[in-house]
Structure 1
Amino acid sequence: MTRSPLFAASVCALLPLLPPAAAHAQAPTAYDCTHPFGLYDNMEVVYQLQDADGKAAGTIRNRVVLLGSEQNKKQTITTNTVLLKSGLYDTKNRLLRLQDVTYLCRQDTSFTDGTSELNPESLRSFRDRRFAYAPVPLAWPNQPTVGSTLPGGGVTVQVSSTAVDIAQVYTRVQKRRITGTESVTTPAGTFECYKVESERESATAARADMVMRTVNRTVDYYSPAVGLVKTEVYGKNGKLEQVRLLTTINKTAAQPEQQLKVKEKYKSKKS
């Protein structure tokens, strides 16, 4: 599958939050897999990127453009999907990059798009080249258990010209583990979260013996009903490098209790 080389945020996938009026801690509720991470049509979620000192470094806006669903070949498993437009803006609100991302929910697990794990700067030196994306979605359990491990995910990009392959650029999120629970306060409210620690490996490989690699430690604060509330990225020296914090949600579409028209695609897939 080939996608255009559009922006993919260097931190975790962009997930929603509750309205600013939610000043109290949000307790876990029955999860609605029809709407992964609580996303409804036309909702826009706003995140702030911060540096290690808490200074604003940019804004991420994530807007729902399509809800859908599909079934496997035997029609025994339904996968609900959300297509979003995700944009990165600088501190002067100028659009820097834009991309489509897809979130999923299947049975007891939701998934974020592996392409959003890639730092767009890693492709900057390969202008006017072809990019073939091979993402692996990241799983987020709807009923997390402290102490459990989670499967890895990420994305590999094959960079090529019209004649030859040039390099592979990849980001892998691995060694994921739920280490505890924590109450997290953001401008959007206070949320009861699960703390998920992982290792993020980013690399550019021109040849098997020529690999430029960076490894970071990441801590995600995750609420099943609203997704990622906060993400912290640490450098190899253990110092905090970047934070992504949810700030606002603009809920312009139907509320959860209202009936939504969901486009059902029901594509045939292997079991």
Structure 2
Amino acid sequence: MKRYFLLLVLAALAAPISQAQSTCSTYYPLVDGANLQYTNYNKKGKEDGQINYTVTNVESSGDNVSATMMMEMVDRKGNTYTSDYEIACDGDVVKIDFKSLMNDQMLSQMGDVEMDMSGTDVELPNNLSVGQELPDANMELKMKMGGAINMNTNVETINRKVEKQESVTTPAGTFDCYVIYSETKTKMMMANQTFPSRTWFAKGVGMVKQESYNKKGKLTGSMVLTQYSK
């Protein structure tokens, strides 16, 4: 269960949201009732679960927009893990409320766990261009389990860069995308790991595809947009 909580947190960092009339963000606009389904695949291309997103409670005031993102993760065995969190767009910057991830629903799935979360946001500007370097991001999670065991996890997203423009086809359609390369550094207990990844972003849709690699550059898994409605 604790492993899936960390997966939910990482999934939240990609928070794909569909198109609205707001000019707040080109790639992360907000619209009430949008639904997106992503299918996870392992390194051999076999299905390894799904993540479903639904946008609710959208409120706007000028260029400022806020919403609740409902997220449901289903693993390959059919087990379901859910969470909802707050997301806001202020001007041309999208921000995730990390503390809202620790809601009552999530805590009830975790059992006897106390958590403290902090971090900086992943930013995606409206105007992307090939070769552009993007700001790093960081998330720190402190967990106290069973009143005795402490586990601290630090996740950094670094070396973010717009590599190229590319058209990509998924079961949800064909999309013109910018491809962003990044590296995720995870520090948990005594283990330190770095995972390169590439993410395909389309205007008005958000994330269309994501691939993760090992340190040798070999594919370890992917996530693809398989259904999309608004």
> Offset at 1:16?
3.9
> Offset at 1:58?
0.5
Q: Is the 8 A contact 1:36 1:110 kept in 2?
A: no
1:8 aligns with 2:8: yes
> Offset at 1:51?
1.0
Q: Is the 8 A contact 1:47 1:244 kept in 2?
A: yes
Amino acid in the other structure paired with 1:37: Y
1:218 aligns with 2:203: no
Aligned position for 2:104:
none
> Offset at 1:222?
1.1
Q: Percent identity, please.
A: 25
Task: Considering Cα pairs closer than 8 Å and 6+ residues apart, tell me whether 1 or 2 has the greater RCO.
Answer: 1
1:1-271 to structure 2, matched below 5 A, reads 8=8, 10-11=10-11, 13-16=14-17, 32-33=23-24, 37-69=28-60, 78-91=63-76, 94-111=78-95, 128-160=112-144, 166-205=150-189, 211-251=190-230
State the SS of the aligned residue for 1:138. Answer: coil
Residues matched between the structures, number: 215
> Offset at 1:107?
2.1
> Higher mean Cα deviation, 214-223 or 152-161?
152-161
Cα pair distance change 1:58/1:113, threshold 3 Å: farther
Q: Is the 8 A contact 2:18 2:30 kept in 1?
A: no
Aligned position for 1:121:
none
Cα pair distance change 1:45/1:143, threshold 3 Å: same
Cα pair distance change 1:114/1:190, threshold 3 Å: farther
> Offset at 1:216?
0.4
> Offset at 1:82?
2.2
> Offset at 1:240?
0.3
Q: Is the 8 A contact 2:200 2:210 kept in 1?
A: yes
Cα pair distance change 1:99/1:35, threshold 3 Å: farther
> Offset at 1:9?
5.3
TM-score (norm 2): 0.80
Q: Is the 8 A contact 1:6 1:98 kept in 2?
A: no
- Flag the structure with higher helix content: 2
Amino acid in the other structure paired with 1:87: E
Q: Computing the radius of gyration over CA atoms, which structure comes out larger, 1 or 2? A: 1
Structure 1's consecutive aligned runs of 4 or more residues displaced over 6 angstroms after TM superposition are 161-165
> Offset at 1:129?
2.9
Cα pair distance change 1:242/1:111, threshold 3 Å: farther
CA RMSD of aligned residues (A): 3.1
TM-score (norm 1): 0.69
> Offset at 1:173?
0.8
Cα distance in 2 for residues equivalent to 1:212 and 1:183: 37
> Offset at 1:128?
2.6
Cα distance in 1 for residues equivalent to 2:83 and 2:128: 29
